[in-house]
Every structure is written in C-alpha cells, then in structure tokens.
Amino acid sequence: MIVSIFDYGSGNIKSVSKAVELAANNLQKNISVQVINSADKIKKADKIILPGQGSFKQCASNLLEIQGAWDQLNEFVVVKKKHIFGICVGMQLFADYGEEDGGSKGFGWIGGNVKKIELRNSELKLPHMGWNEIQIKLDSPLFLKLSKDKHFYFVHSYEFVAKDPKNVAASTFYQDEVTVAVFKENIFGTQFHPEKSQKNGIQILENFLTW
C-alpha cells in the first residue's frame, strides 16, 4: 500500500512524515510512506494525507499553482472514492469556502465554511494553541483504541462550520463548542495535529492506515 503525503509548500511535512512512518512501522505491514509534490503521483497513491499550515487562502493558492493537482485530488476523492486525511488547514480545504484573508473556495467535499473563531472571553486568546480534550461525536474507525484521556495538540484561529452535523466527527470546547474533526464516507480530517499529539495522535494515524 502506498500512502502519499502531499507537499504543496504549506505543511509541516517532516514531522507529519516521521509520524506516519512510525505508525506504519507499528503496524508491521507492507506500507510505503512517500512525500509527493506532483499531480501524476496522486494517481499512484492508495491513500493521501493532506497537511496544511498558514492561511486557508495561501494553502488553496499553493495547491492551484501545482499543475493538475486540484483536479487529480478531486478525482482521487470524489470519483475513485479513495481515503484522504486532512490535517489542520488540510482539513479546512475540504469545506466549500474559507473566509481567511479575503476568502477563497475550497474543494467542497464536505459542506460548510471556515470562519474565524469569535471570542467573547478576554481570558482566551487566538490562535487557540496547546492541548485540549476532544469529544467524539461519531462512531468512526478513525477513533479506535484511543486512551480515555483524549487530549490533542492545536494551533488555529479558524474553525470548520459544517452544514450537516452528521459530518462532525469530534469537537472541543474553547469558549464554545468547536468542530475539530470531520468525516464523510472516504474523507476524514482533523483540526488538531496528530503528528504533535503523542500516543493518541499516532493511534489515529495507525487507524487511518488500516481503515
């Protein structure tokens, strides 16, 4: 099985790659972890991980600048129905639209918009940074074997506001309830960083590899 991490100049590629390789080694299965940066290599992947750091608009722009990448990712996910895992802004790109930096379109795979978190509590700050516990909303294979203490690491100022609550896989509380994982058929994404979330993060990556 080939698991490809798509490098489009917007992700924490090195730490994501190391975490996925660790998860693959833990499973002791024939899994090849590759970092790719071109559209033609998307066709050869069995599963794709789409990281993302920075602004929604910049990440979308970076993807569009790689010839054929946007269309090939659409075919991979929508036509071929292969599994994809989006991390942070990578997950946000699944939405219809992101409002950051004047706004830009996303893939539209999961209905919803990405909006800035509106804080009323002066004691809370943006970005929401650090460890927070998540509440699982869906009985998903991606959440198997997690410890009871379900804390994950976050760095974000924007949230995915899903049109359909059925697509909200997990949430956390930061003044209000905030969506931190989305799920639809072959599509899964987390706002938190599994590659920075120690044992639970590696477990989610293992779950993705065996999904």
Q: Where are the alpha helices (DSSP H) in 75-155?
A: 89-92
Q: Which of 59, 83, 128, 195 is catalytic?
A: 195
Look at 194 and 11; give whichever has higher pLDDT: 194
pLDDT tens for each residue of 62-104: 999 999 999 999 999 999 999 999 999 999 999 999 999 999 9
Residue 114 lies in domain: 2-210
Q: Where are the alpha helices (DSSP H) in the chain?
A: 13-27, 39-42, 56-65, 69-74, 89-92, 198-210
Phi/psi at 16 (5° precision): -65, -45
Q: What is the CATH number of the domain that holds 71?
A: 3.40.50.880
Distance CA 78, CA 97 (A): 18
Q: How confident is the model at residue 10 (pLDDT cuts 50, 70, 90)?
A: confident
- 127: preceding bond cis by omega (within 30 degrees): yes
Q: Give the residue from 105, 80, 102 showing the smallest Cα distance to 94.
A: 105
Catalytic, 193? Answer yes
What HEC string does 104-120 produce? EECCCCCCEEEEECCCC
| Strand order, beta sheet including 83-87 | 32-36, 2-6, 47-50, 83-87, 187-190, 176-184, 168-174, 135-136
Q: Which of 83, 128, 156, 193 is catalytic?
A: 193
| Token pair in block for residue 55 | 């602004």
Catalytic, 88? Answer yes
Name the helix (H) or strand (E) containing 149: none
Calculate the average pLDDT of the chain: 96
**pLDDT at position 11, please?**
73
Q: Which of 59, 88, 100, 206 is catalytic?
A: 88
Total number of domains in the chain:
1
Largest CA distance in the chain: 50
**For range 7-32, the mean pLDDT:** 93
pLDDT tens for each residue of 121-145: 888 999 999 999 999 999 899 999 9
Catalytic, 59? Answer no
Q: Which residues pair with 196 in a beta bridge?
A: none
Distance CA 112, CA 124 (A): 25
Q: How confident is the model at residue 191 (pLDDT cuts 50, 70, 90)?
A: very high
